[in-house]
Amino acid sequence: MWQLYKKHKHSRKKVINTSNCNGSVEQLCNNTEAKIFEVMFFSQDSSLCRPHLRCMQPCEKLNCSIRYLKRIIYYLDSAIHTLDICIYFFTFVDLAEAVIRAKNRNVVVRIILEDSMTHSDRSQLMNFYKEGIKPVFKELDVLVHHKFVIIDNNILLTGSINWTKTAFFGNFENVLVTNESAIVKPFVQEFERILTMFTATETKSENSDTQ
Ligand SMILES: [Zn+2]
């Protein structure tokens, strides 16, 4: 018990709460000691921030959707090695561009999507294909309803929000960002589990087609 207390006490010194958006993300990412615990809440007044999307300038609200969007893009732009995305519906061009930027700087990008949502005209699927990114999806009886992203197996973004403008500018949504390994590791394992399941099925299907 004392060990746990000491560990907790020690870790508390490293915690930097960035939920008020006044902290520097760059400093956090460069400091491997720093713990990231960040929460974003979107609500019905997020729609008021949508007109600012063109200039990408946040308004004075601490929970401005543009501010949150820029934070998420910053995290995506911080990826050095890997970017793993598992998301139900992905239509938001600004976020797709950040994913493509990662691919173009040789980050290994892996994406799992919900099959039924890839049929939408607004899905970024074709844009990813054009850029050499091949998202994985599989027709199932159930939905891939996840919304999580793992950066360099170290930073997790998860929550309710689909990567759509509707979600960012009008819905009640939440996003949690953390590099707490006890939380990140299970997500890493789950991403690998789903990816293996989907790609193994694809391989089996391809083989059976040739027989
Ligand atoms: Zn705003």
* All residues with CB under 5 Å from ion ligand 1: 49, 59, 64
Q: What is the pLDDT of residue 33?
A: 62
65-77 helix and 93-104 helix, angle to the nearest 10 degrees = 20
52 is catalytic: no
For the cut 60, the answer to whether the pLDDT of residue 87 exceeds it is yes
β 15-17/35-42 pair status: parallel
List, for residues 90-127, the tens digit of each pLDDT value: 999 999 999 999 999 999 999 999 999 999 989 999 99
147 is catalytic: yes
- Domains, the chain, in order of start with CATH, read 37-199 (3.30.870.10)
The pLDDT tens digits of the residues spanning 173-192 come to 999 999 999 999 999 999 99
What pLDDT sits at residue 211?
A: 40
* Over residues 8-23, mean pLDDT: 43
Yes or no: say if 194 and 200 are a contact pair by the CB < 8 Å rule.
no
